[in-house]
Amino acid sequence: MRRIALVGKPNSGKSSLFNLLTGLNQKIGNYSGVTVEKKSGQYKGQELMDLPGIKSLRAATQEEIISRNILLDYVKTESPVIFVANGVQLEDNLIFFSEIADLQIPAILVINFKDDLEKRNIHIDLEGLQSRLGCPVVLLNSRSGDGLDVLAQNIEQEKFRIPNAFRRSQYDVVADSEVKNNFIESFVLDEALDLDNATEDYNYRENQIRALLKDNSEQNIDSENFLKFSKKLDKVLLHPIFGVLIFLSVMLVVFQSVFFIATIPMDWIDMLFAYFSEAAGSSLPDSWFRDLITDGILPGIGGVVIFIPQIAILFLLLGILEHTGYLTRISFIANRFLSNFGLSGQSVVPLMSSWACAIPAIMSTRIINDPKERFALIFSSPLMTCSARLPVYTILISIMYPNDDGRLFNAQGLLLLALYLMGVIATLLVAKLVYKRAGEEGLSLFSLELPIYRIPNWRNVFYNMYIKTKSFVVEAGKIIFIVSILLWLL
C-alpha cells in the first residue's frame, strides 16, 4: 500500500483536508500543536498520513522532529507528499516548501483557503507556478471542499512530481548517492549550523520565492488590508492587562452559559427519567429486579444523561473560541505569566486540554521542548478541573445555590469559575515545585504563529463537540453508572 503524507505549516488547513479525503474526523483547531502525533487513514486503497505541523526542516520541537524524521524516511522510499500551503500566507509557506523541494520527494502543492484569496482579490497563475516549481499545483478550499475534485484526480492519476530544487543543486555534483545526501547532512541534520548561515539560507529562499510570486501572482493594491482587522483586534486582545481581563471575562461568560442555557434541557431530562422510574415502579411486580431498575439502573443512566447538555455547551463554546483563532492568542498572553512557574506559552495547550481530560493533556506534553517543563506538566496537569469532575461540581453547586431567578449571571457560574481557577492555581504551584526540583532553571524555546481571525467552521465545531461529549458519556458515564449500581447494592 502506497503511503502519502500531508505536510504543511501550522494553521494551513492540513487536518481539514485530511478529513475531507479520508472521512476520518480528528481534532481540528487553530492553534499550533493540535496534531501531536501522526494520524493515518485510507484513501482509495492508499495510506494517507497527517503529519504534525512543522515550520522548517531545522526541527526545533518534538512534533517537528516527528515530521522531519518521517520526511527523511520518505526520501529513502521515494514516497510522495501533499504539501498544504496557507494561501493567505503563501510567501512564508512556499519558503518552507522550498526546503521540501530540496529533499527531492515527489509532491503535489495544494494552495488552501481559495475563498480568502478571492475575497482579497489575490490571483495566482497556477500554470506558471506549476511550470516554475516542476510539480502539480492545486487551488482549493479545505473548509468547503471546493477544488477537492481536482486534487483527487491528481492523486488517482499519480501526478506526483519531484519539484525543481532551490539550493540542493550545489550538492548534486555527481550521481553518487553519498554526495547527493550532503544536502540532508549539511542543512537538515546539522544542529550546529550557525546563525549566520541559517539567516543567509533563509534570505536566499525568501528572495527566490518573492521573485517567483511576483511573476506568477497578482494582487489588488489593498490586498494586505485584510490584516488590519486582526492587528487592531490583537492590540486589545494581546494587551498585557486588558488581554487578561478580556480572557477572564470570556471564560466567565462560558461558565455562566453552561448553567443558564443548559437549565431547560436538564429539567426535561430529569422529568423524563422520573417518568420512566415511576412507570417501571407501577408496571413491574414488587421484587429485587424492580428495585434494581428504579433505584439502580435508571438513576445511573439518568445521572449521566442529565449532564450531557452542560458538557456539550462547554465544549461547543470552547470550540468556537478555538476555531476563531482566539485560543492561540491565549498562549502569547500566558507566556510571561507562566514563565514564573517554569512553564512557557507552549504549556497552554496541555493545560487547556486538561479541562477536557488529563489523559490527552499528558499525551500532548510531547510538543514541549524542555524535558523539565514537560515533566512538571505531566505531574501537575491532572490537578486541573477535567470534564469528569464537572457533573460533581454542578450537583454540589446546584444544591448549595439553587437558581430560581433565571438570571444569566448568578452565584452558580461564579462558583464554578472559582473552582476552575482553584484547579489552575494548584496546577501552577505544583508545576513550579516539580520544575525547581528537576534541575537548573531555564526557559524552553517558544514560538507560535498567530492565525488570522476566522468565522468558525460550524461543521467541525459541532463534530468536535460531539466527539468530546461522546467521550464523556462513554468514559465517565461507565464509572458513574457502575457506582450507581454499587450504591444500590449497598
- The string of pLDDT tens digits covering residues 453-474 is 888 888 878 877 887 787 777 7
Residue 460's CB: how many other CB atoms inside 10 A?
20
pLDDT band at 175 (very low <50, low <70, confident <90, very high): very low
With 90 as the cut, is the pLDDT of residue 21 above it?
A: no
Report how far residue 174's alpha carbon sits from residue 261's, in angstroms, rounded to the nearest whole number. Answer: 69
Of the candidates 325, 309, 275, 324, which has an alpha carbon nearest to the alpha carbon of residue 450?
325
List helix spans (H) across 381-444: 390-400, 411-437
* Model pLDDT, residue 84: 96
For the domain with range 3-219, which CATH number is right: 3.60.15.10, 3.40.1160.10, 3.20.20.60, 3.40.50.300?
Answer: 3.40.50.300
* Model pLDDT, residue 248: 79
C-alpha distances out from residue 78 to 18, 28, 182, 441, Å: 21, 29, 17, 43
Report how far residue 166's alpha carbon sits from residue 318's, in angstroms, rounded to the nearest whole number. Answer: 42
- H/E element holding 303? helix 298-305
Are the beta carbons of 244 and 333 closer than 8 angstroms? yes
With 70 as the cut, is the pLDDT of residue 370 above it?
A: yes
**At CA 82, angle to CA 111 and CA 164, rounded to 5?**
85
Report how far residue 471's alpha carbon sits from residue 86's, in angstroms, rounded to the nearest whole number. Answer: 32
* Model pLDDT, residue 79: 92
Are the beta carbons of 319 and 465 closer than 8 angstroms? yes
With 70 as the cut, is the pLDDT of residue 200 above it?
A: yes
With 70 as the cut, is the pLDDT of residue 37 above it?
A: no
Q: What is the DSSP letter of 11?
A: T
Of the candidates 13, 5, 152, which has an alpha carbon nearest to the alpha carbon of residue 66?
5
Region for 219 from its dihedrals, namely left if φ exceeds 0, alpha if ψ lies in -120 to 50, beta otherwise: beta
Are the beta carbons of 39 and 50 closer than 8 angstroms? yes
* Model pLDDT, residue 100: 93
Highest mean pLDDT among 160-169, 207-216, 402-411: 207-216
Q: Give the predicted TM-score (pTM) of the model.
A: 0.70
Report how far residue 462's alpha carbon sits from residue 484's, in angstroms, rounded to the nearest whole number. Answer: 30
In this prediction, residues 427-438 reach a mean pLDDT of 88
With 80 as the cut, is the pLDDT of residue 477 above it?
A: no
In this prediction, residues 8-16 reach a mean pLDDT of 86
Would you kindly state where each structural domain of the chain is located, as residue ranges? 3-219, 242-489
- Tell me the pairing of strands 107-112 and 81-86: parallel
In this prediction, residues 231-252 reach a mean pLDDT of 86
With 70 as the cut, is the pLDDT of residue 35 above it?
A: no
Mean pLDDT (the chain, rounded): 79
Highest mean pLDDT among 13-27, 76-90, 348-362, 370-384: 76-90
